[in-house]
Structure 1
């Protein structure tokens, strides 16, 4: 394998896509206007993320299935049967990518689209996860591989923002201003096909030939088309689906179920086909909603409900980094005070403190620990690597808490220069006794006080 699947280090992901600082990008470009940048102004290329060799590996060796792949030619999507087949004995699933069929279609001028690359190629997955965290909006990645002098799709707009990263070859782009500004997910370009085609005949707002390392930010609604030039072109398109004020309105209206006036039935004999009958109902409904939000306490309740709904959506839209089950079990068994751990990226855990416990909440899971672990839990989940022995607990309790969160999938073992320290013989022996010591119902220390370790050992998930 010639492409490093691990990712691109610690540099902020957004800074690799745009040449301006985050504040300027937010105020001048985000959701407003495109930004095209040459590789020289970004300080490097994207070869650590993806490559031509990576394309061949995914096509030939990874048994990709639809919908993780599609092909298109001259604006038309090809039937899946043109580039998929069954995998033979033991893998008789009919929608697997067939490398020979891909070769034939690609040689005949079809564009190959590797979809959901943030789920199939680790370096891209890590990069898109970090970019989504910086932007505060979910992201996904497709790769577009276009043969020489071929066009994959007609002029169109997307219903999400995109960052385009040119990986290999050259591609000529034409970008036009929107005919429908800030389209929502259910407002595709085909709803305005005639206007899009007409706008594409005008002089473009941006016309550039992309070369390796070049990047483009394009807000949703901006019309674009592209054509490969003298050789094969490979680029990544990172799609960002911004949460919008329409989302806020929708979630607020969902909360309106708590308002009695908005639950009332419409008049008997109501005719939705009669504008004269609909108008007063709309007016009364809007007035009821405004009245329901008039009190500061009501607005606060709605804001809290909206925040909760959007948080649940965000957790669903942006899953945390995957875990390695076998490696995690092994790491938990070998954990010592010298081990370095870090919160699982993108976890988004919610920590609450009650009278005697600190609870870590995730969708579908709640992990309760004694209140004494509060400082350690906060440090373990703040996103910075930490040595277990540096946690604000006695050494045995620190190991127990870290091991518990590691086994629950909240932590990962961090890479450390020079490798992980091995536990000493004394530490290993003490760790083997965790089950016995912490199951002791008395849980009494030598000075007669209840030990924190005993409490940590009996904490359970709910």
Structure 2
């Protein structure tokens, strides 16, 4: 069922990856089931995000270094020396991509993996920021570039959810249901090689060929392998290490461990290796922990857990990069007629502190006079704003406030 053509300027990032409504995806697929979406149903392609030309540019002229590239053949990762070398005079560091070595290995059937494209390729940087904002979970993007009729990696599962976006060529994907539901990060497929191989030998849940513009969603734990058909194929893999209830429980238990119930020392002279001697205290510890979790103390812990989880999320995601030269040029000539906006993806709380308004950032806090509160909240709400029209400030004061927020990387020029 086609949703009709969306332009890349207006389509939400998640909607570009799924051929069902977002609400249905959340209820029926997220963390539960695989979803195959055809280019016809998606109504657009991914040409604006990545291409064969983009891959060649990164491999030839961008001075890419490890760990932003790796290569594999027949399921085995190649040593870095197989595709890196010093870059010549003035760039002698030896972990730079060697286009000649990459050519030789690629022509011999090796797969190229361009890692961390959400850091190295601007269109994917912007797309990933929007996707993270919509999902509420971190994300990272790799490109897998496979030569004709080659297999990249053996059947395996990932410990994070993935979206696969087919960029170029055709690739056959064979998908099997999990042997271990929703694995954690410390439960890799290699711990279950036998089970994975046995499941992969059976009938697949999905056996399909992805062509340019097609997309595939796989919850963590779903087995998959891919084989290039015909010429070179490229696909993007968006990895999403979803935050789980176990993460919330871990932070909640951390708080419980600081409760008065669990502070008592074990008996003097106890043999910690003797189960009989510590059995009573193990049971008491369990009862105290359960008592904390069943008490009203959990309610008081919610704010602290939210703060901890939120801080961890902010540390794992990056806001829009700033442009130092452009920003400094604007600082030198800033006037009421200039236009600015809040830096995309920058997490901040705006709080009243008596005679001050505080902009609380992940690494620092900026305090301004309380009279700036309305203007700061207007900027924080989003959109593009003319400096001289910010509410609650005259033009001169607005210039001072905006100059401070530009210098601190909170605002960016709107151009």
Give the superposition deviation at 1:333: 2.4
Distance 1:100 1:290 in 2: 61
> Which moves more between the two structures, 17-26 or 185-194?
17-26
Please state how far the C-alpha of 1:22 moved relative to its aligned partner: 1.9
Q: Which position in structure 1 is the counterpart of 2:370?
A: 371
Distance 1:156 1:271 in 2: 44
Say if 1:403 and 1:198 are closer, same or farther in 2 by CA, change over 3 A.
same
Going from structure 1 to structure 2, the CA distance change for 1:66 and 1:205 (only over 3 Å counts) comes to same
Is residue 315–residue 362 contact of structure 2 (8 Å, CA) maintained in 1?
Answer: no
Deviation string, structure 1 residues 47-83 (Cα, Å, up to 9, x no partner):
0000000111000011111111100011100111111
- TM alignment of 1:44-443, pairs within 5 A: 44-268=44-268, 280-296=280-296, 298-392=297-391, 393-415=393-415
**Matches of 1:145 and 1:11, distance apart in 2:** 26
**TM-score, with length taken from structure 2:** 0.94
Shift of the 272–129 alpha-carbon distance from structure 1 to 2, 3 Å rule, reads farther
Q: Deviations over 1:114-167 (max 9, x none)?
A: 001111101111101110110000000000000000001000000000010000
User: In angstroms, what is the RMSD of aligned CA positions?
Assistant: 1.7
Return the offset for 1:389: 2.7
Q: Deviations over 1:421-457 (max 9, x none)?
A: xxxxxxxxxxxxxxxxxxxxxxxxxxxxxxxxxxxxx
Query: Could you list the runs of 5+ residues in structure 2 that have no partner in the other structure?
Result: 1-6
Q: Distance in 2 between matches of 1:116 and 1:36?
A: 24
Q: What SS is found at the alignment partner of 1:399?
A: helix
Mapped partners of 2:261, 2:359: distance in 1: 38
CA distance in 2, matches of 1:75, 1:90: 35
What secondary structure sits across from 1:9 in the alignment? coil
Secondary structure of the 1:209 match is: strand
CA spacing shift, 1:63–1:286, aligned 2, 3 Å: same
Q: How far did residue 281 of structure 1 move? A: 3.9
> Is this contact kept in 1: 2:19–2:38, CA < 8 A?
no
Structure 1 unaligned residues grouped into runs of 5+: 1-6, 416-462
1:179-214 deviation line (CA, Å, top 9, x unaligned): 111111111011111101100011111111000000
Distance in 1 (alpha carbons) for counterparts of 2:231 and 2:54: 17
- CA–CA separation in structure 1 for the residues paired with 2:59 and 2:235: 16
Cα deviation code 1:347-391 (max 9, x no counterpart): 111111011110001122111111111111011112222222331
Which structure has the larger Rg over C-alpha atoms? Answer: 1
Q: Is the 8 A contact 1:169 1:234 kept in 2?
A: yes
User: For residues 277 and 16 of structure 1, do their structure 2 counterparts lie closer, same or farther at Cα, with a shift above 3 Å needed?
Assistant: farther
1:406–1:235 distance in 2 versus 1, CA, 3 Å: same
Mark the CA change 1:272 to 1:42 in structure 2 (over 3 Å): closer, same or farther. Answer: farther
**1:301 Cα deviation (Å)?**
2.7
Q: Provide the TM-score with structure 1 as the length reference.
A: 0.85
How far off its partner does 1:254 sit? 1.9
CA distance in 2, matches of 1:228, 1:186: 30
Q: Residue 64 and residue 310 in structure 1: after superposition, are their counterparts in 2 closer, same or farther (change >3 A)?
A: same
The answer as to whether partners of 1:8 and 1:123 remain within 8 angstroms in 2 is: no
The CA deviation at 1:274 is: 5.1
Segment drifting more, 227-236 vs 333-342: 333-342
Q: CA deviation at 1:264?
A: 3.0
Structure 1 contact 85–97 (Cα < 8 Å) conserved: yes
